Structures are given as structure tokens and as C-alpha cells.
Amino acid sequence: MIERHWYAPRPWLAVLLWPLSALFALVSGLRRLAYRLGLLRQARLACPVVVVGNINVGGVGKTPLTLSLIESLQALGLRVGVISRGYGGSRREPGLVRAGDTASEVGDEPLLFAQSGVPVATGRDRVAAGALLLAAHPGLDLILSDDGLQHYRLARDLELVVLDGTRGLGNGCLLPAGPLRERASRLSRVGALVVNGEATGPLPEVAGVPRFTMALEAGEFFEVGKPGNRRQAADFSGERVVALAGIGHPERFFSTLASLGLRCDATLAFPDHHAFTAADLPQADALVVTTKDAVKLYGINHARLWALPVRARLSPDLARWIAAQLKLRDANGRKIS
């Protein structure tokens, strides 16, 4: 009910939640002020850090954006690493993501990033995670921080904020009366905005901050247990298909399936980073999931599982813009512009 209020405001609930939002604003504001005044100190890593984050809760597309940046930055000849909190994983101390790790240990997103071929470190303390990553891979050209916009102890060279083109900033209120972790004015101090999807909702106009658009393109369905087996939506015809999603905004995934022409007999939404069990899997001829959920479900039962990968397309070229802003050079020593 509270989340629905964020995007379809109910006046009585706004009044009820306002004191809690005021308390949240006070506590978070004092923390930010402490960093600005130097009472709390930031720590800088030995290579540039780019934070990919948001100011509102809920899925906005940070994971596909990070995966796209990994691929595009590598294509420019840059060595990229990723640090992440590892939300949903049991690991508490900073650690590297290694072959054989599971999503229950390191989190679903870090596992996806590692599968893309880059070194990844997780930890609640992103500074410690970054230091560990650089100790193991000292030649990195830059580090992408998955989320962490509000992790102010980590000094950053660029901040990228992702916005949902449809939902925008909701009712514009801070948690819990609204979806915002920080006020909309925070956007004036970031490096760039990335708008995911067509901007059909109210989006803030931020003077002087570059804006990039992101479109998610669906690939072929692949069988989780046998990734070489591929399907199109039409290939599921005549089967009982159930779609599951444990992501921040599952409706986007279900809408994508419908746009591809896949008729689902049921759609099941779970909380973001949901720890799936066998009991969550209904009887069906085919279960269709996101790649983020697939890494968690693989160890449970992948006999009927099909995953749909998506690729983020950025316009203009965000990876090249990042490299130019950081004055990075490719493997041949040429400055990227």
C-alpha cells in the first residue's frame, strides 16, 4: 500500500508518514553535512571510481546499465572492475567473487557481473572492497561501483544516476512517504543522468547535467541448464508458461514478455533479491525468469527454466563519455575522446 502511494498519492497516508520522512531527512542530511564539513572523511582508491546509482528505491535498471558499461568500456581497451555491496548474499567481510561462488553467498548482481568476465569484489564497506579488488588486480583503469550513491565514505570521480522514464521520482517525497533516498535537488550535483525507457512520466529538468537515454533490448530465451538451447517467444506456443521475477520493478519484465508475444498463464512477482526456494516454483511446462533470477534458481531446479537476457543500448555513447571525462587512455596509450 505504501509503495502504491508513492506513485498514486493518498493524502491521508501522506500526513501519516510525514513525521517519519522528516526524521529520515534530518538523519541523512546530518550525515551528508558531516562529510561536507570533513567531520567524516572520504577514502579515495588508487584508480578512478564511477558510481552507478539512483536516488529512489526500486528497480530502475542499474544492473543492465552496469553490464552494458562493462562491455562497452572493455571494447575501448579499458580494464574494468566492479565493487558491490553484495545484497542478498551471506558474505559479510569484503571478498572477491570467484568461480564456484553462489548467489546465496555473494549476491545475484555480483555473480552476473563476474560472469561477464571482469573482477568483482563485494562488501558492505565499499572502500575495503575496492582496496581488495585493486590488491588482486592492480592494473585496473577504473572501478564501477554498483549502487553506492549514498555510500559517501567512498570518494568517487563520477556519479551516474539512473531514472525510470515512466515512474520518474514518484510523488517526490523522501522515504517512507515517497520513494526518494535523497531530495531531487541532489541530481544537480551528479555527473550524468541516464533515463531508462521512454520518458512518459514527470522527470526533473537539471540544468548543466548531461542526459543519456537507455533502451533495453531483449535477446533470445535460453535454457538455464543448457544455455546453448535457444527459443523465440513463438516456440512456447501450446505450453503452460509461468513468469517469475524477483527484481525491483517486475512489471517491466512482464511487459517485455507481453511485447514479445509470449502469453503467460500466470505472472508471479517477488521482492527484489528474493531468495528463491523450490516451493516458489509452480507447476508449468516452462518457467521464464530474468537472468538476475536465473543465477539464484540454477541450484534449485533448472529443468524447466528459461531466462530472457536484455541488453542496454545507450544514446549517446556513455562509455566513451566516461572515458573522456576521466581522461583515460586505451591499451595503446591513446587518449579516448
Is 59 one of the annotated binding-site residues?
Answer: yes
Give Dmax over CA atoms of the chain in angstroms: 64
Distance CA 272, CA 33 (A): 30
Task: For residue 7, name the pLDDT band (cuts at 50, 70, 90).
Answer: confident
The reply, when asked if residue 208 is annotated as ligand binding, is no
Distance in angstroms (rounded) separating the CA atoms of residues 99 and 213: 34
Is 62 annotated as contributing to ligand binding? yes
Query: What is the average pLDDT across 324-333?
Result: 90
Other CB atoms within 10 Å distance of the CB of residue 163 = 25
Three-class DSSP category at 280: helix
- Tell me the pTM: 0.93
Q: Is 166 annotated as a binding residue?
A: no
Supply the DSSP symbol for 222. E
The whole-number average pLDDT for the span 253-271 is 96
- Of the pLDDT bands very low, low, confident and very high (cuts 50, 70, 90), residue 303 is confident
Round to whole Å and give the CA distance between 281 and 136.
39
238 is in an annotated binding site: no
**197 assigned to a ligand binding site:** no
Provide the 8-state DSSP code for 335.
B
Q: How far is CA 286 from CA 25, 237, 253, in A?
A: 46, 11, 16
Q: Is the pLDDT of residue 298 over 90?
A: no
Residue 293 to residue 286: CA distance in whole angstroms: 15
Q: Is residue 332 a known part of a binding site? A: no
pLDDT score, position 98: 95
Instruction: Give 59's pLDDT tier (boundaries 50, 70, 90).
Output: confident
Question: pLDDT-based confidence at 107, cuts 50/70/90?
Answer: very high
- Ligand-binding annotation for 57, yes or no, is yes
**What radius of gyration do the chain's Cα atoms show?**
20
Mean pLDDT taken over the chain: 94
223 pLDDT band (50/70/90 cuts)? very high
**How high is the pLDDT of residue 301?**
67
